[in-house]
Amino acid sequence: MKVKKISALLMASAVLAGSVPAQAVFAEEASQKTAAEETAADNTVAENKIPKYIFLFIGDGMSYPQIQTTNYYLNAIEDDGDEILTSENKLNMMNFPVAGSAQTYDSTSFCPDSASTATSISTGHKTYSGTINMDEKMETPYETIAEKLKDQLGYKIGILSSVNLNHATPAAFYAHQASRNSYYEIGEEMIASEFDYFAGGGLLQPTGAEEDKTDLYQLAQEAGYKVINTKADAEALTAEDGKAIVIDETLADSDAMSYSMDLEEGEWGLADYVEKGIEVLDNETGFFMMCEGGKIDWACHANDAAAAITDTKAMDDAVGKAVEFYNEHPDETLILVTGDHETGGLSMGFAGTDYDTFLANMANQKISYAKFDEDYVAGYKENKTDFDTVMKDVTELFGLQAPQGETESTNKADSKDKHLESEDTGSLVMTDYEYNKLKAAYEETMSRTGEEEEFSQEEYLLYGSYEPLTVTITHILNNKSGINFSSYAHTGLPVEVFAMGAGQEDFSGYYDNTDIFNKMAALTGVK
């Protein structure tokens, strides 16, 4: 068993460390039927089929609010001339024939973290927040579904993520560590797993926390992995190349993949890595692929609804690639889509707009919070840019306008989604209250050095740990669209479990997230 192979490594790292907590233009895509929608009508999968090809998609931070907001947004940006609201299922996952729900609590909290929830999904065991595939005493490692399928059935294994490949969720399918922050040790286990295909973001701390260890990429090559970091080499990759680690060419914040809305034309997104993964993993014995949409979580932590929507859509596009494969192997394929937990306390409905929403407003945001911080805010601080100049960028990149006279908004407000008696038009011209709030946030950003260790309660409630200017911009745009966040952290909401294919019927109902593992294990017969 794989667990035995790594026991020495586990004991050496069993000291707990601290836990760390596309542009939005979809109108053309939204008017087309999803791959799953076209498939669902003909879904006649026989009961008790053993899945030979298993896809497990995990939207980090993705629960019902993220899914439904994305779907309503896609409907809102369609201009069909109908004055009555309608909503069709625009997402592949929403057209799966079976839907269930899973509770997400862990041994620590009803509002768990990604390490413990991914452990539950991958092993069927609860553990403490911040812990990966170890029991609460940090003594016993748990074997994962991916390890079992590889060792017992000979399946090829693929692990994909839009964030770092040694981050909590992908790590939960191959690593066993007391702390999710043991990035180097996790990377060592990633290499020792001998899994066939890793793809997505770069490795955190590849030379260790103190930068004094052998580079993980070098160790991977020495272990027989082909390490790829260009799009051209990724395109050329074939099954004949053997084990591969594919790092995205255009890494962004924290060496993760770019937010979907920040991708330049021609750059690869999550769907491209899934498509390539299918190509290199496909074989007669079978394969298991876990694909994480990790930046849904990051966007929701930052209360950036537009980035969360576009990355939810990006992960669903990746699901669409699995559906295409399913259509060729309907009796042997199982596709699961779930979340690890909800992030941000996202809700549709804001006190300031009463019952009204203006979701099409979100299409005015052209850049993620992270890219805005990197490309603009850093320069504002360095150059001591005045507020009026900053406002020009805010208007250009987010659509928000200063309250100057009768200025007409150029926003794309969804005017249909308002009550007849409402005086709210969905305008992106800020009120005096909103404008003054934004100016105060600008001043707070300009006064910070980046070395602040703690914030007052008021500061945290207003800005979390994010740039005050940036998070206030997204808050105002969210609220004007009828969207609100209650938190900068994880919540205790249940998560969706969508299923299609061999054994799909086992995933209906309301159950614990540990049962996702239990059901996969029972279907495949692994022990």
Distance CA 378, CA 399 (A): 21
| 2 has pLDDT over 80 | no
- Report pLDDT for 14: 39
Give kind and range of the element (H or E) at residue 197: strand 197-201
Q: What band does 417 get if pLDDT is binned at 50, 70 and 90?
A: confident
- Whether 58 and 128 share a structural domain: yes
In a domain, 212, yes or no: yes
| 153 has pLDDT over 70 | yes
In a domain, 289, yes or no: yes
- Report pLDDT for 454: 87
- Report pLDDT for 9: 39
- Whether 260 and 397 share a structural domain: no
Q: Mean of the pLDDT values across residues 176-190? A: 98
Q: What band does 404 get if pLDDT is binned at 50, 70 and 90?
A: confident
- Report pLDDT for 23: 37
- Report pLDDT for 504: 97
Which structure tokens are listed for 517? Answer: 């593992």
Helices (H) and strands (E) in the chain, counts: 21, 14
Can you say how many angstroms the Cα of residue 407 is from the centroid of all Cα atoms in its chain? 37
- Report pLDDT for 422: 79
- Report pLDDT for 450: 81
Distance CA 332, CA 227 (A): 31
162 CB burial (10 A radius; 0-12, 13-18, 19+)? buried
Distance CA 325, CA 121 (A): 23
Facing residues of 339 across strands? 59
Encode 232-248: b = buried (16+ Cβ within 10 Å), e = exposed. eebeebeeeeebbbbbb
- Whether 330 and 384 share a structural domain: no
Pairing outcome for strands 156-164 and 98-103: unpaired
- Whether 477 and 497 share a structural domain: no
Is 327:41 a contact under the CB 8 Å cutoff?
A: no
- Report pLDDT for 390: 98
- Report pLDDT for 85: 80
| 245 has pLDDT over 60 | yes
Q: Is residue 98 helix, strand or coil?
A: strand
Distance CA 89, CA 320 (A): 14
**Other CB atoms within 10 Å distance of the CB of residue 267:** 16
Amino acid making up residue 38: E
Q: Is residue 253 helix, strand or coil?
A: helix
- Whether 59 and 202 share a structural domain: yes
In a domain, 475, yes or no: yes
- Whether 318 and 366 share a structural domain: no
- Whether 193 and 252 share a structural domain: yes
Q: Which of 484, 499, 515 is the last residue of a domain?
A: 484
- Whether 457 and 361 share a structural domain: yes
- Whether 360 and 384 share a structural domain: yes
How many residues does this entry show for the chain? 527
| 13 has pLDDT over 60 | no
- Whether 180 and 311 share a structural domain: yes
| 19 has pLDDT over 60 | no
**Sequence-distant (≥ 6) Cβ neighbours of residue 345 within 8 angstroms:** 485, 486, 487, 491
Say which DSSP state 377 is in. Answer: I
Domain holding 456, by residue range, is 348-484
- Whether 359 and 461 share a structural domain: yes
In a domain, 84, yes or no: no
Query: What angle do helix axes 305-328 and 270-281 make, rounded to 10 degrees?
Result: 20
Can you say how many angstroms the Cα of residue 94 is from the centroid of all Cα atoms in its chain? 17
- Whether 108 and 233 share a structural domain: yes
pLDDT tens-digit readout, 319-365: 999 999 999 999 999 999 999 999 999 999 999 998 899 999 999 99
| 426 has pLDDT over 80 | yes
pLDDT tens-digit readout, 272-292: 999 999 999 999 999 999 999
Say which DSSP state 431 is in. Answer: P
Q: What band does 37 get if pLDDT is binned at 50, 70 and 90?
A: low
Q: At residue 524, what are phi and psi to the nearest 5 degrees?
A: -90, -15
Higher-scoring residue by pLDDT: 6, 406: 406
Domain count, the chain: 2
**Tokens 């209250």 map to which residue?**
433
In a domain, 163, yes or no: yes
| 25 has pLDDT over 50 | no
**Other CB atoms within 10 Å distance of the CB of residue 95:** 22
Q: Mean of the pLDDT values across residues 435-464? A: 93
342 to each of 95, 180, 294, 498, how far by Cα in Å?
21, 19, 12, 16
Encode 394-428: b = buried (16+ Cβ within 10 Å), e = exposed. bbebbbbbbeeeeeebebbbbebbbeeeeebebbb
Facing residues of 201 across strands? 164
Distance CA 412, CA 428 (A): 9
Provide Rg for the chain, Cα atoms: 23
Higher-scoring residue by pLDDT: 394, 14: 394
- Report pLDDT for 421: 77
**Sequence-distant (≥ 6) Cβ neighbours of residue 39 within 8 angstroms:** 95, 323, 326, 327, 500
Beta strands in 70-207 (DSSP E): 98-103, 156-164, 197-201
In a domain, 123, yes or no: yes
In a domain, 503, yes or no: yes
**Residue whose C-alpha is closest to residue 507's, from 144, 64, 97:** 97
In a domain, 288, yes or no: yes
CATH of the domain at 238: 3.40.720.10
Terminal CA-CA length for the chain: 11
Mean pLDDT of the chain: 90
Query: What angle do helix axes 468-480 and 305-328 make, rounded to 10 degrees?
Result: 70
**15-24, 248-257, 420-429, 497-506: which has the minimum mean pLDDT?**
15-24
pLDDT over 90, % of the chain: 82
pLDDT tens-digit readout, 188-223: 999 999 999 999 999 999 999 999 999 999 999 999
- Report pLDDT for 415: 58
**Whole-model pTM?**
0.91
Q: What is the dihedral of CA 275, 68, 22, 102, to 10 degrees?
A: -50
486 CB burial (10 A radius; 0-12, 13-18, 19+)? exposed
**Sequence-distant (≥ 6) Cβ neighbours of residue 298 within 8 angstroms:** 61, 163, 253, 256, 370
